[in-house]
A = this chain, B = another copy of it.
Amino acid sequence: MSDQDPLVIFTPSGKRGRVPRGTPVLQAARKLGVDLDSVCGGRGICSKCQVTPAFGDFPKHGVHVEPQALSDWNAVEERYDRVRGLKEGRRLGCQACIEGDVVIDVPAESQVHRQVIRKRADTRALHMNPAVKLCYVEVAEPDMHEPSGDFERLSQALQAQWGIEGVTADLSLLAGLQQVLRKGGWKVTVALHRDHTGAAPRILQLWPGLHEGGIFGLAVDLGSTTIAAHLTDLDTGEVRASSGLMNPQIRFGEDLMSRVSYVMMNPGGTEEMRDAVRRALATLAAELIAEAGLAPEQVLDVVVVCNPVMHHLLLGLDPTELGQAPFALAVSEALSLPAAKLGLDTINPRARVYLLPCIAGHVGADAAAVALSEAPERSEDLALIIDVGTNAELLLGNRTRVLACSSPTGPAFEGAQISSGQRAAPGAIESVEIDPVTKEPRFRVIGCDLWSDDPGFAEATAASGVTGICGSGIIEALAEMRMAGLMDGSGLIGSAEQTGTARSRPEGRTHAYLLHDGSAEGGPVITVTQGDVRAIQLAKSALYAGARLLMDEMGVDHVDRVVLAGAFGAHISAKHAMVLGMIPDVPLEKVTSAGNAAGTGARIALCDTAARAAIEANVRRITKIETAIAPAFQAHFVAANAIPHASDPFPELRRIAPLPEVSFNTGGGDGGGRGGRRRRRG
């Protein structure tokens, strides 16, 4: 380029360079490596390449931009503006030509790899780089002198007009190809799948002419209990609709291990459960598509995250091996499959389904998704990430190294195995406070912001009633009992005499604390029993022992911060969790909630194939710790049985929470729970 050529400066990238007079802005952007979108390849019909030229003096850039810096509107731009309307100040980048020095702003919506805002700043930024993109092409008509298939001429067009070589297509696409080409007058929009694997690009869908309805993907968090899906615009990253439903496999078994047992006891059980979950996924997809008013053919990519048992059951792989040591997965690496293979017949049958890799036999693709969302491998400080579900998956790491394990907490944290336990639903006690002097409790239930001792509580909760305790409620109740001196460090609930409150009531040879007596209104009597304490002790000991095992492997005795992922993590009180010794001792402000990090990871993988490559590489690098065979696990488990802990000092906790030194063990009764048997995973 000569110095006489006009200088073009793109914002916000700041990329600049000289191009020959008359160069279209789109071409200049490509030449200078500026991210400027185009679906129609510069034909002035898709309007994806809109830019905003700026005129006048720009001392910062050292240029003055004349009003004539860009060519006048041409017929194509005029027609576009007349028919579709161009925003004030905008030009079509493929039509406007550079005639003099100019500053050109590329608005966010004209960038292919635009950044999508995520709520928390400490995690991986999400760039749009989806596996499926649209390309508009003009295909050569058939020529008897040079006979070739319509598909081959379409391939040649993609190569010539987009530089995309070696495309493939499924038979079902070929079946409709000739009609679409003719309907579009040999101009078509191609939905092209290209991921990070180097597999040949696949044509997933064709539309006659320019397709303007957009393309979409589903991010699916396939849990043992619920299935959640987010219908996401693959152009903008925007979630257009979200929904969830119960995993219908629940009728085969509440927890994963009972589903594995079902397979072992029932020939054909794998296929039954496979079909059930696939039908549910297809139904969920259909609902989302209807809600967003889309055509099924527009949904072209799916990312699924799930635990290893769900992973195998969705794929139709027998999960039996996952129920016993050495917990061998049939396949652990990431998978890419056509939707039709998973019976997903409510979306485009050629859509691709991507499953994140599993980390180990019971650290699944959901844990990988958490790792993708929370990016411990980029953390400067040492982060412990805990995804609490029926099993807990733990990640510990920083820039130098990341470790992973799962811990068999069982479902107690979800309110199961608790005498008054229930799922989180209106009427469930979710927060508890106990006055350290009077030993009187107050609580809140889901669906009402009032405390139980606030005026109007009874009226406000009349509809739901007070029905039981959910997972976060039982944690708070126990922690409050510990802080109020109602329960000692070994987890033993004191008698009325020992605690000074009639709410401590004998129950067999142990005691229970009365939280709420609804019997006058025909409701339940809600107590925290010694059995409840033992169930939570088992769960929290497993969780803490898992964390300590990872810390041992890392060679540390503390972590810098704790991230609680999962729906449970979003509702749990960090202070109460620490009182129970569920999580290692850190300053309270260093405990954060990541929300549904697995679901976020699924969305990231859906929008960005580079993230898929990254998590696949990271999962290979993660050091996997198997708690079931680690000799230290049992010792850590036993020591963690105390509340908060038998030996770890928890100095940060002691600064903020009273932990009365009481002991209710009189030699009789059930002081047990220590060295408790390990439950089977599930």
Contacts and interface: CB of A to CB of B under 8 A. Distances in A.
Contacts of A498: none
A459 interface: no
A629 to B, nearest CB: 5
Contacts of A270: 175
Interface stretch (A329-337, A432-440, A534-542): A329-337
Given A171-B315, A317-B174, A318-B175, A329 B146 contact: no
A83 interface: no
B361 A147 contact: yes
A141 to B, nearest CB: 8
Contacts of A628: 144
B624 A150 contact: no
A660 interface: no
Give the interface size class of chain A: 35 or more
A188 to B, nearest CB: 14
A145 B403 CA distance: 12
Contacts of A331: 149-152, 174, 177
A337 B175 CA distance: 14
Determine which residue in A149, A151, A315 has the highest number of CB atoms from chain B within 10 A of its CB, and name it: A149
Contacts of A320: 178
A149 B318 contact: no
A79 to B, nearest CB: 32
A112 to B, nearest CB: 28
Contact of A318 (B178, B317, B341, B361): B178
A358 interface: yes
Prevailing SS type, chain A contact patch: loop
A330 B144 contact: no
Contact of A149 (B143, B177, B178, B358): B358
Nearest to A357: B149
Contacts of A145: 624, 626, 629
Contacts of A150: 321, 328-331
Given A171-B341, A175-B316, A318-B178, A327 B144 contact: yes
A171 B327 contact: no
A624 to B, nearest CB: 5
15 contacts: A142-B327, A144-B325, A144-B361, A144-B628, A145-B624, A147-B624, A147-B626, A148-B329, A149-B331, A149-B332, A150-B329, A150-B331, A151-B330, A151-B333, A178-B328
Interface of A: 141-152, 171, 174-175, 177-179, 199-200, 270, 315-318, 320-321, 325-333, 337, 341, 358-361, 624, 626, 628-629
Given A152-B332, A179-B318, 14 more contacts: A144-B327, A145-B624, A147-B329, A147-B360, A147-B361, A147-B624, A147-B626, A150-B321, A151-B330, A151-B333, A174-B315, A174-B317, A177-B331, A178-B321
